[in-house]
Chains A and B, each alone.
Chain A
Amino acid sequence: MDPYFPQAFVSSTQNTFETMLKIKLQPGKPQQKAGSFPSYDISGIIGLSGDAIGSVSLSFPKSVALNAVAALLGTEVKTITAEVVDAVGELTNIVAGSAKVLLVPLRLSISLPSVVVGVNHQLAASQGVETVVVPFVSDLGHLALEISLKA
């Protein structure tokens, strides 16, 4: 995968969290995803199509998702509710939408977000599509971005 592709999503994720949550995200080293590791509690997933196909997902442990949504909405959040699910989907939507403009040559279209909720779930990499995992650290805790893209 062209390293510019995941970098566009990393930049848009950082910009989204800094702008709307006032939280700085520090990205770790991107890694090729092998098998289905790592695991999360809630993930927003958006499909990508156009001159490249694939998906992008934003994944959180439960506590970090609750912290993120609390920062986004300015209200305490104690459990994963429909409101939290919607917020994770919307964050993923904004990340994908703002990465799209950095990837104009790919003429990407993005799908509506899906949100997966399940303790310690894993996102399986698609066969034949390279997947890069980018971990982030922040005051909210750890979260991860997974970019699967075939150009």
Chain B
Amino acid sequence: MKTLLVDDSATMRRIERNILESLKIMDIEEAVDGADAFEKISSGNYDLVLLDWNMPKMDGFSFLKTVRAMDKFKSIKIIMVTSESEKTRILDAIKAGANHYIVKPFTAEILMAKLRELKMEV
């Protein structure tokens, strides 16, 4: 399973990587914003994207809408991982095609549970 971590915070990408590697999910790449992420998924075969919302250049919501408008990316599972916790934001993301939504702060167990629900565990 190939995973893309999208967050402008190196700390958050490191935390997510630590959790995934503890689950033996080892094929992981990183992007620092939505534009970087779009460039990477256009040239790679990703199964899973962990996606922050507030990022420079292209935010996570814009990336989500762009990707979900394209058939070739429809099989990619996208989990928003963000500090945006208002109900309207969560609903907007789900309507735009996010498969799951995790609000920061989060535990490893929460991320693992979402991956299990999406049958994304190794």
A residues neighboring B (CB under 8 Å): 15-16, 19-20, 72-74, 82-83, 86-87, 89-90, 93-94, 96-98, 100-101, 104, 112
Contact of B9 among A90, A96, A100 (CB under 8 A): A90
Across the interface, do A15 and B15 meet the contact criterion of CB distance under 8 Å? no
Size category of the B interface is 10 to 19
A-B contact count (CB 8 A): 51
Contact of A100 among B12, B85, B106, B107 (CB under 8 A): B85
List chain A residues, Cβ under 8 A from B75. none
Q: Interface readout for B91-122 with A: 1 if CB under 8 Å, 0 if not?
A: 00000000000011111000000000000000
List chain A residues, Cβ under 8 A from B18. 73-74
Across the interface, do A93 and B9 meet the contact criterion of CB distance under 8 Å? yes
B residues neighboring A (CB under 8 Å): 9-12, 14-15, 18, 54, 83-86, 103-107
Distance to closest chain B CB from A106 (angstroms):
13
List chain A residues, Cβ under 8 A from B12. 90
Question: Chain B interface mostly helix, strand, loop or mixed?
Answer: loop
Q: How far is the CA of A87 from the CA of B14 in the complex (A)?
A: 10
Across the interface, do A98 and B105 meet the contact criterion of CB distance under 8 Å? yes
Asked whether A86 and B84 contact (CB < 8 A) given A15-B105, A97-B104, the answer is: no
Q: How far is the CA of A83 from the CA of B15 in the complex (A)?
A: 12
Across the interface, do B85 and A89 meet the contact criterion of CB distance under 8 Å? no
CB-defined A-B contacts under 8 Å, sample of 14: A16-B105, A20-B104, A73-B11, A73-B15, A73-B18, A86-B9, A86-B10, A93-B83, A94-B104, A97-B85, A98-B85, A98-B105, A100-B86, A104-B86
Across the interface, do B14 and A73 meet the contact criterion of CB distance under 8 Å? yes
Asked whether A94 and B15 contact (CB < 8 A) given A19-B107, A89-B9, the answer is: no
Please name the residue on chain B nearest to A104 by beta carbon.
B86
Please name the residue on chain A nearest to B89 by beta carbon.
A101
